[in-house]
A and B are shown apart, each in its own frame.
Chain A
Amino acid sequence: MIKVNGIDIDSDGKSFAGKSIAEYLSTTNFDMKRIAVEKNGEIVPKAKYAETLLAEGDALEVVSFVGGG
């Protein structure tokens, strides 16, 4: 099971294990310029989205910022 923002993303039968964070993000509507990604409690540098692979048991948090301040 791989969780993103508390939700299991592998629940539809397909698994993201072995896929990169960039590959996962490309399947979502997240705007790459507006997010910060944390994996298992550590920030993932933007430059490493393509090389950081997801593994069984990972918990990802994608913070997506909205406008206003």
Chain B
Amino acid sequence: MSNIPSKEEMLDALVLRQGAQNVQKLQAATVAVCGLGGLGSNVAISLARAGVGKLILIDFDTVDITNLHRQQYKACQVGMPKTEALSQNLKEIAPYLQMETHFARMTEENTLALVAHADVVCEAFDKPEAKAMLVNTVLEKNPEQVLVAASGMAGFDSANSISTRKVMKNFYLCGDGSSDVNDGIGLVAPRVMACAAHEALTIVRILCGMETEIAKKECKNGK
């Protein structure tokens, strides 16, 4: 750990790739990643690398051997809470990232408090009922918060069938919309990662003001 670059060195390197204004906006942002499986662990690492300042990491589960084929954990982390394992891995990748972890199952009761300080909420669960709960709760109770969700990334189909669409103001949905893991088609690492990359890029675009609704909202707030 002795050769870790300084925060300034890392930010300078990032500015060369992404531009100073974008890096500044990303550094000031907080994203809540809800679920740290195949989607969430990949989203979190992408956002950390892109320079997002703070991540709120939420999951109730521990790392299982069946997770290792597609989730960003190591074999030596089996049995560890995903919040702890992922924050360890993120610390190695992005040592100056701020993190807040919640080893908890999200419910209608605790969701709003857990994501209250996030600029963007990322839905990254695996169960459709949990996905619907989070989306309904955030959109109903906190309609000004931006939500990026995912549905449909199972199987071996082409990654080209995965897309991002804006369903309504402040609600973006990534995925193919239909390939259901419950149909017994399984989850394949690169396709889940493709969907996670859609979510992460959408979040980066939102935070950088490249999605029009957000740009309008920021103007109104005088930011």
A residues at B contact (CB < 8 Å): 31, 33-36, 38, 41-43, 45-46, 61, 63-69
Q: When each residue 34-64 of chain B gets 1 if its CB lies under 8 Å from chain A and 0 otherwise, what string results?
A: 0101111000000000000000000000000
Q: Please pick, from A34, A43, A66, A68, the residue contacting B143 in the complex, using a CB distance under 8 A.
A: A43
Contact across chains for A69 and B39 when beta carbons are under 8 A apart: yes
Say whether B197 faces chain A, with CB atoms less than 8 Å apart: no
Most buried by B among A45, A46, A67: A67
| Alpha-carbon gap, A5 to B128, bound state (A) | 19
Whether the pair A67, B136 counts as a contact (CB closer than 8 A) is no
- Is the pair A43, B192 in contact by a Cβ cutoff of 8 Å? no
Residues B168 and A61 in contact, CB atoms below 8 Å apart: yes
Name the contact of A67 in the complex, choosing from B35, B182, B192 (C-beta under 8 A): B182
Contact assessment for B38 and A43 in the assembled complex, using a CB-CB cutoff below 8 Å: no
A66/B181 contact (C-beta < 8 A), A34-B128, A36-B135, A36-B136 known: yes
B192's partner among A42, A64, A65, A69 (CB-CB below 8 A) is A69
Tell whether, in the assembled complex, residue A68 and residue B154 are in contact, meaning their CB atoms are under 8 Å apart: yes
Contacts A/B (CB < 8 Å), 12 sampled? A36-B135, A38-B171, A43-B140, A43-B171, A45-B136, A64-B151, A65-B128, A65-B132, A66-B177, A66-B179, A67-B126, A69-B39
Residues on B facing A (Cβ under 8 Å):
35, 37-40, 124-129, 131-132, 135-136, 139-140, 143, 149-154, 167-169, 171, 173, 177-182, 187, 192
| B150 smallest CB distance to A (angstroms) | 7
Q: Least Cβ distance of B136 to chain A in Å?
A: 5
Partner of B152, one of A34, A41, A66: A66
B-side contacts of A34, CB under 8 Å: 128-129, 131-132
* Interfacial chain B residues near A35, Cβ < 8 Å: 132
